[in-house]
Amino acid sequence: MRLLSKATSKWWAMLLWMLVSPLSNAEDRYLDVPKAEIELILERGYNLDSSVAGLIDNMIRDYPESPLGLCLKAARLFQLDDYAEGSDDAIAESFEKASTNAIEASERYYQIHPENPEGRYAVAMCELNLARYYIDHGRWFGGFLKARSGLGHLKQLLKEYPDFHDAKMPLGVANCFLDKVPVYLKPIARLLHFSGDMELGLQQLKDAETRGFLTRHESLYYQVAIQWVVLEDKEAAKQVLDRFVERFPRNANALLLRAHLARQLEDFKMASNLYEMILSMPEVDYLKDVRDWVVWYSGNAALHLEDAETALAKAELVLDTVEEDRKELRAWGFTLKGNALVHLGKREEAREAFSFVKKRDNAEAYKAVRETLDEMRQDEISDQ
How many CB atoms lie under 10 A from the CB of residue 264?
13
Residue 27: pLDDT band (50, 70, 90) is low
128-166 residue pLDDT tens: 999 989 988 899 999 999 999 999 999 999 999 999 999
Mean residue pLDDT across the chain: 90
DSSP state of 34: E
Higher pLDDT, 375 or 195: 375
Tell me the residue type at 29.
R
For residue 261, count CB atoms less than 10 angstroms from its CB and return exposed for 0-12, middle for 13-18, buried for 19 or more: buried
220-235 residue pLDDT tens: 999 999 999 999 999 9
In sequence order, the β-bridge partners of residue 33 are 30
How far is it, in rounded angstroms, from Cα 345 to Cα 201?
A: 52
How far is it, in rounded angstroms, from Cα 338 to Cα 322?
A: 17
For residue 21, pLDDT beyond 50: no
> How far does CA 212 lie from the centroid of its chain?
18
Residue 188, pLDDT score:
72
For residue 180, pLDDT beyond 70: yes
How far is it, in rounded angstroms, from Cα 202 to Cα 225?
A: 11
Length of the chain: 384
∠ CA(263), CA(222), CA(251), 5° rounding?
A: 60
Residue 184: pLDDT band (50, 70, 90) is low
Residue 384: pLDDT band (50, 70, 90) is low
Q: Tell me the helices (H) and strands (E) count for the chain, helix number first.
A: 19, 2
Domains 18-151 and 269-384 share a fold: yes
Residue 69: pLDDT band (50, 70, 90) is very high
For residue 22, pLDDT beyond 90: no
State which CATH number among 1.10.3720, 1.25.40, 2.40.160, 3.50.50 fits the domain covering 18-151. 1.25.40
For residue 2, pLDDT beyond 50: no
How far is it, in rounded angstroms, from Cα 25 to Cα 28?
A: 5
Per-domain residue ranges for the chain?
18-151, 163-248, 269-384
Higher pLDDT, 325 or 23: 325
- Assign domain 269-384 to a CATH class: mainly alpha
For residue 172, pLDDT beyond 80: yes
How far is it, in rounded angstroms, from Cα 238 to Cα 229?
A: 12
